[in-house]
Chains A and B, each alone.
Chain A
Amino acid sequence: GAVVSQHPSRVICKSGTSVKIECRSLDFQATTMFWYRQFPKQSLMLMATSNEGSKATYEQGVEKDKFLINHASLTLSTLTVTSAHPEDSSFYICSASLAGSGELFFGEGSRLTVL
């Protein structure tokens, strides 16, 4: 099946710094990628939908200036958490859509801890 790689898998940073998370589709081109956030013992919440070459579409309540999403190529989307605060600590998961399959393929997730 299609493989999505996410990096880094874990990151610890100080409050106020910015953190970038990469999501790559390794063996297919993904015109659309999705970013989810998952707090402990909760479900995945869609943050934004990222389309290659255009601006991301953010879900209600997600600050676009805080969570910068760039989808510059058909195999790479990045999520940058700017000026991170402890409340941003969470598990961030990306997924990529394989055109025509009706399926999304998920990365392994990135656990962000903001001290």
Chain B
Amino acid sequence: SQQGEEDPQALSIQEGENATMNCSYKTSINNLQWYRQNSGRGLVHLILIRSNEREKHSGRLRVTLDTSKKSSSLLITASRAADTASYFCATYNNNDMRFGAGTRLTVKP
């Protein structure tokens, strides 16, 4: 079964704009991870944030985690057409990983 919800389900923006995706989950976690998936392809690991961390950066990516609200957000700054993909959050707890429903991001050139 899936762990939680992501919103929005789909997001369409212009190149150069920022994209924010949210993820909510239901149970306790060891960490939360974000992945990207291009159509019909495998997963690309983007970033991992541990349960005792609140914010993490990697290049144009910024991830926040609020364990009290059981939610996380992924911000992609200065988006590019190549960022067009589906983005999934995944919660990891005791060797068990569950995925959110995903957000389909389209960046228009």
Contacts and interface: CB of A to CB of B under 8 A. Distances in A.
Contact of A104 (B88, B92, B104): B92
Interface string A1-26: 10000000000000000000000000
A60 B50 CA distance: 28
B19 to A, nearest CB: 18
Contact of A102 (B43, B92, B99, B100): B92
Nearest to B92: A102
Interface string B19-45: 000000000001101010000111101
Contacts of A42: 101-102
Given A60-B1, A91-B40, A43 B48 contact: no
Contacts of A103: 33, 45, 48, 92
B95 interface: yes
Interface residues of B, number: 24
A108 B1 contact: no
A41 B85 CA distance: 11
A113 to B, nearest CB: 12
Interface in A82-115: 91, 93, 95, 97, 102-109, 111
B18 interface: no
Interface of B: 1-2, 30-31, 33, 35, 40-43, 45, 48, 50, 88, 92, 95-102, 104
Interface of A: 1, 32, 34, 36, 41-46, 49, 59-60, 91, 93, 95, 97, 102-109, 111
The 7 closest A-B pairs by CB, nearest first: A108-B42, A44-B99, A109-B42, A106-B43, A43-B99, A43-B102, A43-B101
